[in-house]
Structure 1
Amino acid sequence: MRIAVLAFLLAVLLVFPGLVPNSPGHLGSLAETALPWCGLGVPLLLVWAAVRRSLKGAVAVLVPALAWAVVFGPAFAAGHGSGRPDFQALTLNVGGDRTAPGDVAREVKAIDADVVALQKVPRPAMGAYERELRAAYPHHVVGDTIGLWSRYPLRDVERLDLGGAWPHALRAVARTPVGDAAFYAVRLPSVRVGVTQGFAVAQRDASAARLAERVARDPTSRVVLLGDLNGSLRDRGLAPLTRGLRSTREQAGHGLGFTWPAAFPVVRIDHVLVRGLTATGTEVLPDLGSDHRPVLTGLRGGGR
Structure 2
Amino acid sequence: MDRVLTAEPVRSSPQPTPEPPLRPRHRVTAWAAGLLLAVPALVAACRALDTDATAPVPQLLSFLPWLTVPAGLALLLAAVIGRRVLTFAAVLVLVATAWSSVPYMPQAVISYGLPLARVKVVAANVEFSQGTSALSRVVAREDPQLVFVTECNRSCRDTLTKAFAARLPHHASVEGEGSVGSILLSSYPLSDRRTIPGSMGMPGATAEIAGVRVRLQLVHPVPPLPDRTQLWKRELAAIEEYAATAAATATASSEGLAPALIAGDFNASQDHAAFRAILDAGGLQDASRRADQSRTPTWPMEGPLPPFVQIDHVLVRDFSVREVRFLDLAGSDHRAVLADLDLRGPR
Report the TM-score, using the length of structure 1 for normalisation: 0.77
Q: Secondary structure at the match of 2:226?
A: strand
Q: What's the counterpart of residue 275 of structure 1?
A: 317
Q: Which of 174, 177, 182 is the matching residue for 1:146? A: 182
Q: Name structure 1 gaps, 5 residues minimum.
A: 76-83
- What does residue range 1-304 of structure 1 map to in structure 2 within 5 Å? 10=40, 13-14=43-44, 17-19=47-49, 25-49=54-78, 52=81, 61-72=90-101, 86-99=118-131, 101-144=132-175, 145-151=181-187, 153-160=188-195, 162-176=196-210, 179-194=212-227, 201-217=232-248, 219=250, 221-243=258-280, 244=282, 245-254=284-293, 256-263=295-302, 264-302=306-344
1:83-105 Cα offsets, whole Å, 9 max, x none, are x9822211001111423x34421
For residues 272 and 123 of structure 1, the distance between their equivalents in structure 2, rounded to whole angstroms, comes to 24
Does the CA contact (< 8 Å) of 1:253 and 1:281 recur in 2? no
Q: Structure 1 residues 12 and 93, CA, compared in 2 at 3 Å: closer, same or farther?
A: closer
Does the CA contact (< 8 Å) of 1:281 and 1:299 recur in 2? yes
Q: Structure 1 residues 221 and 164, CA, compared in 2 at 3 Å: closer, same or farther?
A: closer
For residues 151 and 309 of structure 2, the distance between their equivalents in structure 1, rounded to whole angstroms, comes to 19
**1:20 to partner: Cα distance:** 8.0
Q: Structure 1 residues 183 and 97, CA, compared in 2 at 3 Å: closer, same or farther?
A: closer
**1:167 to partner: Cα distance:** 3.7
Larger radius of gyration: 2
Report the TM-score, using the length of structure 2 for normalisation: 0.69
Does the CA contact (< 8 Å) of 1:281 and 1:298 recur in 2? yes
For residues 286 and 67 of structure 1, the distance between their equivalents in structure 2, rounded to whole angstroms, comes to 33
1:121-170 Cα offsets, whole Å, 9 max, x none, are 0123311111112233233333322222223x22324131x333344222
For residues 102 and 7 of structure 1, the distance between their equivalents in structure 2, rounded to whole angstroms, comes to 45
For residues 173 and 42 of structure 2, the distance between their equivalents in structure 1, rounded to whole angstroms, comes to 45
Q: Structure 1 residues 21 and 172, CA, compared in 2 at 3 Å: closer, same or farther?
A: closer
CA RMSD in angstroms comes to: 3.5
Work out the percentage of aligned pairs sharing the same amino acid.
22
Q: Structure 1 residues 276 and 218, CA, compared in 2 at 3 Å: closer, same or farther?
A: farther
For residues 277 and 96 of structure 2, the distance between their equivalents in structure 1, rounded to whole angstroms, comes to 26
Q: Secondary structure at the match of 1:44?
A: helix
Q: Secondary structure at the match of 1:272?
A: strand
Q: Structure 1 residues 239 and 165, CA, compared in 2 at 3 Å: closer, same or farther?
A: same
For residues 315 and 301 of structure 2, the distance between their equivalents in structure 1, rounded to whole angstroms, comes to 21
Q: Structure 1 residues 278 and 15, CA, compared in 2 at 3 Å: closer, same or farther?
A: farther
For residues 39 and 97 of structure 2, the distance between their equivalents in structure 1, rounded to whole angstroms, comes to 13
